[in-house]
Amino acid sequence: MSKPSQSSTRSGPAAAPPTPRRRFLTQAGALVFGGIVCLVPTLSGLAVLLDPLRRRSKAGKFIRVATLDSLPDDGLPRQFPVIAEHVDAWNRSLEPIGAVYLRRNPGELRAHCLTATCPHLGCFVNYDDESNTFKCPCHNSMFQVDGEMIEPSPSPRAMDTLECKIENEEVLVRFQNFYTGKTDKVAKG
Amino acid sequence: MKALLNWLDDRTGVRDFVHEALFERIPGGARWRYVWGSTLVFAFAVQAITGISLWMCYSPSTQTAWESVYFIQNQMQGGWLLRGLHHFMAHAMVVLMALHLMQVVIDGAYRAPREVNFWLGLLLMQIVLGLSLTGYLLPWDQKGYWATRVATNLLSVVPVVGPQLQQLVVGGSDYGHHTLTRFFALHAGLLPGLLVFFLALHVALFRRHGICHKQPAKGPDAMFWPDQVLKDAVACLAVMIVVLVLVAQPVNLFLSEHRWPIETSHLGAELGAPADPSNQYSAARPEWYFLFLFQFLKLFEGGGEQGELLGAIVIPGLIMLSLFLLPFLGRWNLGHRFNVGLILILFAGIALLTGAALNEDYRKLWTDPSKFAQLPEIIDEVGTDDQKIAAHFQNDKAKIDKFQEDLIAFEKYKKSKDYLEAVEQAETEAQRVTILASTETRIPVSGAITLLRNDPKTQGPKLFAARCASCHTYAEPAATQGDAQPAKEPAAPNLFGFASRAWLKSFLDPKHIAGPNYFGNTSHRDGEMVGFVNETLKDWPAEEIQNAVMALSAEALLKRQANEDQKDLSRIEAGRKLIADAERCVQCHKFHDAGETGSAPDLTGYGSREWLVGMISNPRHQRFYGDNNDGMPAFAEHPGDSPENMLATHAIGLLVDWLRGEWYEPPDGDTQIEIASE
């Protein structure tokens, strides 16, 4: 082991330089084989990372949200949780998946439903009974009781309405989530 | 492009850096023997890439760890490949590390001036082994759970601070959420961080000293790039191919009955059943590269706490220390040869111990059981009494020694048999829980362990073995003929297929009713039912008996028999009339509105779930055997889930469902659940 501990690696040309062709083949081989072995773990990792793109939301079913009794026809919005069968990766369970505001105008037998999610950036919108308006606690978007925007507003659109119907003295809502921050209401797929 | 590079180089010196990294001079040219270090760096890179991807899907808690790994393995695209790569590359890393160490010692690369780098290498080895140990627990399956428990329990034998040390590592007094969070932080944070740090030092020092080249030089000097890189890349490719073959599990695929479509649970790394502290696991073993330690510890059996300390900590520690001393030993004239000898002996010892451990576990596979055929009889006769043994063999020394030898071999054979059965049982449970987790209802929030705990197919045989098998048998009647006779006479009926048509038909057969499968060994042997079958029933037309059998069996509402029950409605109706005929069964039995209880079991709903639960709960009840009950205990005499009951209602339900053959089976074919998620 007579080699000096400090070897200058940059000076001193390699003895008997190989032919350019051989050198090219060596370089190409090193790159190709090195590339292949690095690709295997990278691609398998990518496949798993991209897995969420395969998952689809299963929206579209009417969910029972409240009894008609709990929604008097006084025109005031009331907040209800939406409890539904929820699939979360390996679990499937019955749990709250969101909240809605329901409202029934005097004398009407139909309900109006607004999702509690702010269309601006997704905060939970509060109902302020003093001013009879919806107020978002995050960026101060304000909405009228029917969900229309109160200008000026950071929100690009009115509160999102949800389809709802009354059946057998119960209020059913087709619960959906929408992309926030867009002028158009687009359901998440 | 060039301008941009110039700009960057001006500010960072990137060209120098790349040049330095690539154009290392290799005296004597590139050689295959220099590839080991590079393959290790490569293996670590693979672990980092796959590990971070796994990290994004893993959830460390006792209710989600197994579940998230199950989801990666069976439900995410390419998950089995990712996990398989990570698992088997970890194995490959251990092998490569051993090769690298051997290479370094044989080539004398530990000597001056490279001592510090040698020590860094040993340190890196400890870190890698630590990564293996912590990673083994993370899936939270039975295998990892029990094996790691043994490892952490050994910590408690450390003098003075042992128990505290153990508590710190485990994150509490027992295994739980914090064991997982700690092991995960170690596995994905601290240990890889240390590894990167020491690896950087290791490589920097390696570059400072240059390669420890093999004399004499084979050819002219060459450069790291591209000559050695090519060889390194080819070596890495070979490692990757070996790992991919292991991931594809060709042996498993070949042995598997369902070869197509390949189920992801058969590919890549194994995932056992979820960890269950209440479920014995006799198949617990460390990973194969720690088996030698496991076996080494057995040498200290009977040494008590001191023995454990010696075998698990002191001696392995001293051996590790001696490795650190190699550079000093190497200064001595014959030191290098001594070191090479030491490392070879060490590896030979590891190989021997590993072999011994494997031999103990798997010896059944290469042992001929026929040579023990006579043994149980002799043991029954002579027991362990030396005098009796001597008498049996007429004091023939050679025969006695042979007997003693056989006895030991027999014990080892039985141990191996038990181990292999435990492995098989573990595999069965692992497959079962995968099936249960793949249903539409998925895994409950309480964790996959509840799937197994509520599964009649899994729990039934265990409950039966623990609570019923001391009296009852459960075996297909055909199987009990021949050499598989139960060791001792059953004291109560064979419950295989209870209340099915076949079971009832044999029951009402004079040839069988007083046999060992029915009332043969009970007090009912001399009871009225046996008399009735032997004397009265033989005069019934066979057709009528069969109608009665069908009708009674239909009371059980067995799902397995539902099609037949549906088909034979008219015969069942005829049978019901026979049973309810005042001159026949209802003379003693009650059947719906006819007859009275008190003298014989109620035949209403005979063998149904509710009937069986009632019978097991309290056979002494008027509805069942009343005062004629022959020694069957009442397993739940008190109402509700009273603590005085021998069995909980839930357990009786599982037992009954199992006896009735009612448990979840997947529809044929695809077990993959539909991809839908919020």
> Does A77 lie in the same domain as A41?
no
Examine the domain organization and report whether A66 and A155 are in the same domain. Answer: yes
Cross-chain CB nearest to A1 (options B72, B111, B232): B111
Residue A103 lies in a domain: yes
- If asked whether residues A76 and A118 sit together in one domain, one would say yes
**Claim to verify: residue A46 and residue A128 sit in the same structural domain:** no
In the stretch 653-672 of chain B, residues with CB closer than 8 A to chain A read none
Predicted local confidence at residue B386, as pLDDT = 79
A117 to chain B nearest CA, in Å?
Answer: 16
pLDDT the model gives residue A4: 38
Q: Are B557 and B608 in contact (CB under 8 A)?
A: yes
Is the minimum CB–CB distance between B13 and chain A shorter than 8 Å? no
pLDDT > 70? residue B666: yes
Per-residue pLDDT tens for B348-396? 999 999 999 999 999 999 988 888 888 888 888 887 777 888 888 888 8
Does the residue A130 lie in any domain?
yes
Residue B539 backbone dihedrals phi, psi, to 5 degrees: -90, -10
Tell me which residues of chain B, numbers 210 to 229, contact chain A at a CB-CB cutoff of 8 Å. Answer: 210, 212-213, 220-223, 225-227, 229
Residues of B in contact with A88 (CB under 8 A): 677-678
Listed residue (A157, A159, A74) closest to A111, CA to CA: A74
Q: Which of B10, B195, B172 is nearest to B90 (CA)?
A: B195
Pairwise CA distance, residues B35 & B232, whole Å: 5
Total count of domains within chain A? 2
Q: If you average pLDDT over residues B217-230, what whole number do you get?
A: 86
Q: Can you tell me the distance from the alpha carbon of A4 to that of A1, in angstroms, rounded to the nearest whole number?
A: 9
* Separation of alpha carbons B234 and B259, rounded Å: 32
Residue B288 is predicted with a pLDDT of 94
Determine the residue of chain A that is closest to B111 in CA distance: A1
Q: Within a domain: residue A1?
A: no
Interface contact A42-B441, CB threshold 8 A: no
- Tell me the domain boundaries of chain B: 32-215+233-273, 286-361, 369-443, 454-659
Query: Element (H or E) spanning B616, and its range?
Result: helix B609-617
Q: Encoding tokens for residue B193?
A: 């961080």
pLDDT in tens, B620-637: 999 999 988 988 999 999
B236/A41 CB distance under 8 A: no
Judge if ipTM > 0.90. Answer: no
- Confidence category of residue B641, pLDDT binned at 50, 70, 90: confident
Quote the mean pLDDT of chain B: 90
Confidence of residue B258 (pLDDT cuts 50, 70, 90): low
Provide the shortest C-alpha distance from residue A23 to chain B (in Å): 8
Q: What is the DSSP letter of B640?
A: S
Q: Is residue A10 part of a domain?
A: no
Residues of the domain holding A153: 62-174
Q: Are residues A94 and A152 in the same domain?
A: yes
Render pLDDT for B542-576 as a digit per residue (tens, 0 to 9): 999 999 999 999 999 999 899 999 999 999 999 99
Q: Under an 8 A CB cutoff, do B71 and A90 touch?
A: yes
Q: Mapping DSSP to helix (H, G, I), strand (E, B) and coil, where does residue B165 land?
A: helix
Paired sense of beta strands B222-223 and B25-26, if any = antiparallel
Instruction: Assess whether pLDDT exceeds 90 at residue A29.
Output: yes
Bridge partners (DSSP) listed for residue A174:
A62
Residue type, B281: Y
Question: Which segment of A59-68, B117-126, B250-259, B393-402 scores lowest on mean pLDDT?
Answer: B250-259
Are residues B442 and A36, on separate chains, in Cβ contact within 8 Å?
Answer: no
Instruction: Report CB contact under 8 Å: A33, B223.
Output: no
Whether the per-residue pLDDT at B485 is higher than 50: the answer is no
DSSP B476-491: -HHHHSGGG--SS--S
The whole-number pLDDT of residue B255 equals 65
Does A66 lie in the same domain as A39? Answer: no
Q: Is B645 on the interface with A (CB under 8 A)?
A: no
Partner-chain contact A3 B213, CB within 8 Å: yes
Q: Give B239's contacts in chain A (Cβ within 8 Å).
A: 37
Residue of B nearest to A50 (CA): B77
Alpha-carbon Rg of chain B, whole angstroms?
34
Cα B186 to the center of its chain, rounded Å: 25
Test B678 with A34 for CB contact under 8 angstroms: no
- pLDDT grade, residue B500 (50/70/90)? very high
Q: Testing the interface with A: which of B15, B16, B25 to mutate, by most A Cβ within 10 A?
A: B25
Domain boundary among A51, A73, A90: A51
Q: Taking residues B461-474, what's their average pLDDT?
A: 92
Query: Measuring CA to CA, which residue among B428, B660, B413 is closest to residue B557?
Result: B660
| pLDDT for the residue numbered B582 | 82
Claim to verify: residue A131 and residue A155 sit in the same structural domain:
yes
Tokens read off for B62: 């006792």
Nearest residue in A to B204, CA atom? A6
pLDDT at B10 over 90: yes
Query: Are A81 and A142 in the same domain?
Result: yes
Domain B32-215+233-273 part of CATH 1.20.810.10: yes
Question: Cis ω on the peptide bond leading into residue A17 (within 30° of 0)?
Answer: no
Q: Are residues A166 and A81 part of one domain? A: yes
Q: Does A128 map to a domain?
A: yes
Q: In this predicted structure, what is the pLDDT of residue B639?
A: 85
**Cβ–Cβ below 8 Å for A48 and B27:** no
Helix or strand (DSSP H, E) at A115: strand A112-115
pLDDT in tens, B441-459: 999 999 999 999 999 999 9
State which H helix or E strand residue A28 sits in.
helix A20-49
Query: Does residue A93 fall inside a structural domain?
Result: yes
- A69 lies in the same domain as A145: yes
Which residue is it, tokens 């009339």?
Answer: B577
B111 and A87 in contact by Cβ < 8 A? Answer: no
CATH number of A150's domain:
2.102.10.10
A84-117 tens-digit pLDDT: 988 899 999 999 999 999 999 998 889 999 999 9
Mean of the pLDDT values across residues B167-175? Answer: 93
pLDDT computed for residue B301 by the predictor: 86
- CA proximity to A75, closest of A101, A100, A105, A102: A105
Nearest residue to A105 (alpha-carbon basis) of A139, A81, A66, A71: A71
Whether A30 and A96 share a structural domain: no
- DSSP labels, B409-430: HHHHHHHHHHHHHHHHHHHHHH
**Which phi and psi (to 5°) does residue A161 adopt?**
-85, 155
Same domain? A126 vs A161: yes
A55: Cα separation from own chain's centroid: 12
Provide the number of CB pairs (under 8 Å) joining chain A to chain B: 158
Interface contact B393, partner A, CB < 8 A = no
Q: How far, in Å, CA of B489 to CA of B282, rounded?
A: 28
Per-residue confidence band for B256, with pLDDT thresholds at 50, 70 and 90: low
Say which residue the tokens 């960890």 belong to: B275
**pLDDT, position A7:** 39
CA–CA–CA angle A62, A67, A70 (5° rounding): 135
Interface residue B230 vs chain A (CB under 8 A): yes
Question: Which of A90, A177, A188 to mutate against chain B (most B CBs within 10 Å)?
Answer: A90
Q: Do the beta carbons of residue B94 and residue B125 sit within 8 Å?
A: no
